């Protein structure tokens, strides 16, 4: 991937400099459905930054507006479903889209509309971050919305990326104490909901462990990834991960390779995170611009 991304630092401004004209003119395009996050930590802003950093062109449909800071979410206003649909169809009617990525869909009716759009463009692979709550625990998705996600969205997905808590809630297990055996059960249950592949992330599980374990459930044996646990709390790591997977997948990697590359990208983004407020750190999706940022190949 790195040979496709040529960057230069000029007079304090970061510019993308093309050498191969066809690379820049034919960037894969990703259509993202998500809510706006004014902090840039999560939501559509995180998607735009992540996809741009990796070398894709972000197309966006806003599903909701939020009031939030780096500590939590205080209000969510869903966008009218007909306006969500109009945004999406205007793009899809004229633009070749490589991947559809979904974050917070913001309302029951938005989920229904987006599921219909997915059916109409079934040739486009779909990757979904099935968000239930903010990092602080602010509830953003109700039970009816979760049921619609399972019935209408998951069966159309190439991949869903719940964290352990989300996986348990979608499997109707609530706040059960979760060990590695139960995570494997959860992966099977979510595949039974229709998703072709499920990546369950473990950063929120067993926080005293020195290693974070993520597990990909697909058509073959589950694949486990291990990463050094970083000490800070982060706002937007899930959005960053799902967008990074979407970007690497759009660039032509296999799904398993895209998952692996995306996890490395997110780990580096978190290691070199930004402190812009009084709450959680923000992933630095452009960590590679910092001369001090060196790829650490010993973390997994």
Helix-, strand-, coil-residue percentages of the chain, each rounded to 5: 40, 20, 40
Over residues 214-227, the mean pLDDT reads 92
pTM of the entire predicted model:
0.89
What per-residue confidence (pLDDT) applies to 23?
A: 58
What per-residue confidence (pLDDT) applies to 231?
A: 87
Which among 74, 157, 133, 140 has a CA at the least distance from the CA of 106? 140
What per-residue confidence (pLDDT) applies to 19?
A: 39
Q: Which residues contact 104 (CB under 8 A, 6 or more apart)?
A: 34, 35, 43, 63, 64, 131, 140, 141
What per-residue confidence (pLDDT) applies to 1?
A: 44
User: Residue 175: pLDDT above 70?
Assistant: no
What per-residue confidence (pLDDT) applies to 291?
A: 63
User: Residue 3: pLDDT above 50?
Assistant: no
Percent of the chain scoring above 70 in pLDDT: 87
User: Residue 57: pLDDT above 80?
Assistant: yes
Which among 173, 170, 140 has a CA at the least distance from the CA of 157? 170
What per-residue confidence (pLDDT) applies to 293?
A: 55
Angle at 63 between CA 284 and CA 262, to 5 degrees: 35
User: Residue 17: pLDDT above 60?
Assistant: no
Residue 247 to residues 99, 221, 231, Cα–Cα distance (Å): 8, 24, 27
Mean pLDDT estimate for the chain: 88
Determine the Cα–Cα distance for residues 101 and 124; give it in Å rounded to an integer. Answer: 10
Over residues 159-167, the mean pLDDT reads 95
């Amino acid at each position: 991937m790195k040979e496709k991304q040529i960057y230069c630092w000029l007079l304090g401004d970061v510019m993308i400099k093309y050498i191969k004209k066809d690379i820049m003119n034919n960037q894969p395009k990703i259509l993202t459905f998500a809510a706006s996050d004014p902090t840039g930590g999560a939501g559509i802003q995180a998607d735009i930054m992540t996809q741009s950093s990796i070398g894709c062109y972000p197309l966006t449909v806003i599903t909701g507006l939020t009031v939030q800071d780096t500590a939590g979410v205080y209000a969510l206003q869903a966008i009218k479903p007909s306006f969500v649909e109009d945004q999406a169809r205007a793009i899809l009617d004229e633009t070749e889209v490589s991947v559809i990525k979904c974050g917070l869909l913001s309302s029951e009716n938005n989920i229904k509309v987006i599921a219909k759009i997915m059916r109409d463009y079934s040739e486009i692979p779909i990757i979904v971050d099935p968000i239930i709550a903010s990092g602080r625990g602010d509830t953003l998705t109700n039970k009816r919305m979760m049921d619609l996600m399972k019935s209408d969205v998951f069966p159309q997905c190439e991949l869903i990326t719940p964290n352990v808590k989300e996986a348990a809630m979608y499997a109707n297990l609530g706040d059960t104490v979760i060990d590695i055996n139960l995570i494997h059960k959860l992966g099977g249950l979510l595949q039974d909901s229709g998703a072709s592949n499920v990546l369950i992330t473990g950063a929120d599980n067993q926080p005293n462990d020195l290693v974070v374990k993520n597990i990909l459930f697909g058509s073959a044996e589950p694949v486990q990834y291990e990463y050094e646990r970083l000490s800070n709390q982060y706002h937007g790591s899930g959005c960053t991960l799902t967008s990074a997977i979407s970007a690497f997948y759009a660039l032509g990697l296999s799904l398993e390779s895209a998952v692996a590359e995306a996890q490395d990208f997110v780990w580096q983004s978190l290691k070199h995170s930004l402190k812009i407020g009084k709450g959680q750190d923000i992933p630095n999706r452009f960590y590679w611009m910092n001369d001090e940022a060196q790829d650490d190949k010993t973390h997994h």
